[in-house]
Structure formats: structure tokens, C-alpha cells
Amino acid sequence: MVALLGALTTTACGQNPEQRQAAADARAASFTPPSVTSRIDFGTMMDRRFRTLDRDGNDIISSDEMPRQNSRLRELDRNGDGQVTASEFSEGMLGFFDRMDLNRDGTVTSEERETYRSRPVSTPTPVNSAPRLP
């Protein structure tokens, strides 16, 4: 009788203990913890990114230093001279951060980042603001 009740319970749940454990293991293996990035940390990361792109160290990302010819970084070139200065890059990237910071608390969570990325793009990005980067 106890064995029959156990079998009915297991059948009713649709999974045996091994299947439940395998499903739990799969969920644990694909778990990505939420992230929180402060504006200061983001600015520091973007400064390092700029320094990596500015191979000659002159505080300007020139055409030949762009990651690719159709780089979205060109949108940061506010004065249209074909180059992105350190200040254009910094201001543009911090503008991008501020647009992702949906609740305006100075941090961007993984949820805010996903919400921002899933928004439809309704208007073109102004030249003096950062592009919507992947």
C-alpha cells in the first residue's frame, strides 16, 4: 500500500527524484546572477576601453583605430571631424549609461539593461549622444 501511494505520488508529479534532480542541476548550471554596475564603475570600464582603442595614446580614436569601418563609435563624433576624442567618448558612453539607468538611481541592473535592449528604437540617436550598443 505504501509503495503504491509512493508510485502514485511520483507519477502525479510527473518526475521521479532523478528527473527532478537533473532539472534542478540544469537550472543551476544556466543560472546567471543579476549584475549591478555603478556609473563610476561603468565610466572606469569605458575609460579602459577607450585606452585600448587609442593605440597611439594621443587621446583620439582616429579612423584607423576604429574597431571596424562601420563602427557605431563614429556616432560619438559630435563635431564631425572623423575622430572620437576622449571627452566625446566619455560623455557619449555616460549618456548611454544614463539612458539604461531607467530608475535614475546611479546604477544599472541586469534587468534594466535587458529592458533597455528590448525597447523598440523609435527615433534616431542624436549625433551628440551615445549609440545603443549591444
Residue 53 · residue 67 · CB < 8 Å: yes
pTM for the complete prediction? Answer: 0.65
pLDDT at 14: 65
Encode pLDDT of 8-55 as tens digits: 444 445 678 888 888 877 777 776 667 999 999 999 999 999 999 999
| Lowest model confidence (mean pLDDT) among 18-32, 56-70, 104-118 | 18-32
Long-range contacts of 52-58 (CB under 8 A, 24+ apart): 54/86
Encode pLDDT of 124-133 as tens digits: 444 444 444 5
Return the C-alpha cell found at 64. 584607423
